[in-house]
Structure 1
Amino acid sequence: MLQAERLESGYGNSKVLFGLDLEIGAHSVVSLLGRNGMGKTTTVKTLMGMLPVQGGSLRFDGQEIGGLRPHRIARLGLGLVPEGRRIFGSLSVLENLVATSRNERKGLWNLERVFGLFPRLRERRAQSARTLSGGEQQMLAIGRALLTNPRLLILDEATEGLAPVIRHEIWACLNQLKDEGQTILLIDKNLKEMQHLVDRHYMIEKGRVMWHGSSQELLAQPELVDRYLGV
């Protein structure tokens, strides 16, 4: 579905990605792992067109998307739950969801499906989004992304800073999405939860993929966690 080959990107003259390779197959769940500052969020921003591709290629369903604007990439089927949630605080829960709703494909995500996944959003649909708890805002951010009906859903630190009970709800949601065949790219630090969810992990360091493999392969090589994820 998505292939990045020798991908280079960064911020102006400051390059962050140096020939990164990444492949995400349809209906798979892939993780991007690495310490802070190694290029994970830069990769996400490049995939979504928020940073320019400075080298290499980036294809989605065989189409080169490296030069497309973010709104065009989103319309192709890439949906993002950004780091820090970025919900529209001045709008209600319902207005946040309606703002991104798309009804162009079969098997749709709609308001009822999102409310079924996160019943608390139904209860608070008239409430200002800025008054939600952190966990409820994260649910809203995920629901908003699902209403774009993404073919590839990207989640950047979706459980960071949340209470354990809310993290459990988010992981249950992601497992349900996997069971339904949703393609997912996941950035998170919780390897215990990811090992049953993720089909393939990519570990990056200084803008390069240093290792990739299955959860079973990762569990068999604990030194990799110390090398690439340890503080």
Structure 2
Amino acid sequence: MLQAQDVQSGYGASKVLFGLNLEIPSHQVVSLLGRNGMGKTTTVRTLMGMLPVQGGQVTFEGKVLNGLRPHHIARLGVGLVPEGRHVFGSLSVQENLVATERNDHHGHWNLERVFTLFPRLKERRTQSARTLSGGEQQMLAIGRALLTNPLLLILDEATEGLAPVIRQEIWACLNQLKSEGQTILLIDKNLKEMRHLVDQHNMIEKGRVVWTGSSQELLEQPELVNQYLGV
């Protein structure tokens, strides 16, 4: 579905990605793992067109994304749940959701289906988004991305900083999405939960993917976790 080939990117003269290669097959959950500062969020920003591709090529469903603006990439079918959530605090929960609602891809996500997935959002549909807890804001960010009916859903730090009970709800949501065939790129630090969810892991170090393998292969090589994640 999405391929990044020898991608170089960064912030002005400060390069962060140095020939990154990443493939996200359709209907799979793919992770991007690495210590802070190794290029995970820069990768997401580059895939979404928030940062320019300085070298190499990104393609999605056969279409070259180099040079496209973020809203064009979103319209092609890439949904993003950004690090830090970035919900519209002055809008209500429902207003946040309907602001992104589209039905020209799969068309199976609508407001009521998001409310079924996250009943808390239905209970708080008229509340200002700024009054939600961090976990509820993450649910809102996921629901907002799903209402674009994405072919590919990207989650940057999916459960970071959330209470354990909320994290479990998020993981349950992601497992449901996987069972429905949703293609996902996932960045998170919770390897225990990810091992049951992810089809293919990618370790990134200094702007390059240095290892790719299954959850079972990662489990059989614990030295990789020490080497590339430092945990």
Q: How does 1:157-172 map to 2 (within 5 A)?
A: 157-172=157-172
TM-align CA RMSD: 0.7
Deviations, residues 81-109 of structure 1 (Å, cap 9, x unaligned): 00000000000000000100002134420
Judge conservation of contact 2:97–2:111 (CA < 8 Å) in 1.
yes
Whole-angstrom CA distance in 1 between matches of 2:74 and 2:104: 13
Judge conservation of contact 2:34–2:228 (CA < 8 Å) in 1.
yes
Q: How does 1:1-231 map to 2 (within 5 A)?
A: 1-230=1-230
Whole-angstrom CA distance in 2 between matches of 1:80 and 1:150: 9
Letter in structure 1 aligned against 2:78: L
Deviations, residues 157-197 of structure 1 (Å, cap 9, x unaligned): 01000000000000000000000000000000000000010
| Structure 1 counterpart SS, 2:150 | coil
Deviations, residues 94-138 of structure 1 (Å, cap 9, x unaligned): 000010000213442000100000000000000000000111000
Whole-angstrom CA distance in 1 between matches of 2:124 and 2:65: 37
Residue-pair matches, total? 231
Whole-angstrom CA distance in 1 between matches of 2:161 and 2:178: 23
Letter in structure 2 aligned against 1:174: L
Whole-angstrom CA distance in 2 between matches of 1:124 and 1:64: 40
Whole-angstrom CA distance in 2 between matches of 1:100 and 1:171: 23
Question: 1:3: how far off?
Answer: 0.3
Q: After the TM superposition, which segments of 4 or more aligned residues of structure 1 sit over 4 Å from their partners?
A: none
Whole-angstrom CA distance in 1 between matches of 2:204 and 2:106: 36
Structure 2's unaligned 5+ residue stretches are none
Query: Structure 1-normalised TM-score?
Result: 0.99
Whole-angstrom CA distance in 2 between matches of 1:162 and 1:142: 14
Whole-angstrom CA distance in 1 between matches of 2:171 and 2:184: 13
Whole-angstrom CA distance in 1 between matches of 2:106 and 2:19: 36
Whole-angstrom CA distance in 2 between matches of 1:205 and 1:145: 28
Whole-angstrom CA distance in 2 between matches of 1:222 and 1:105: 40
Judge conservation of contact 2:105–2:150 (CA < 8 Å) in 1.
no
Deviations, residues 49-89 of structure 1 (Å, cap 9, x unaligned): 00000000100011111110000000000000000000000
Whole-angstrom CA distance in 1 between matches of 2:159 and 2:119: 18
Judge conservation of contact 2:77–2:105 (CA < 8 Å) in 1.
no
Whole-angstrom CA distance in 2 between matches of 1:40 and 1:53: 15
Letter in structure 1 aligned against 2:91: L
| Structure 2 counterpart SS, 1:100 | coil
Letter in structure 1 aligned against 2:6: R
Letter in structure 1 aligned against 2:171: W
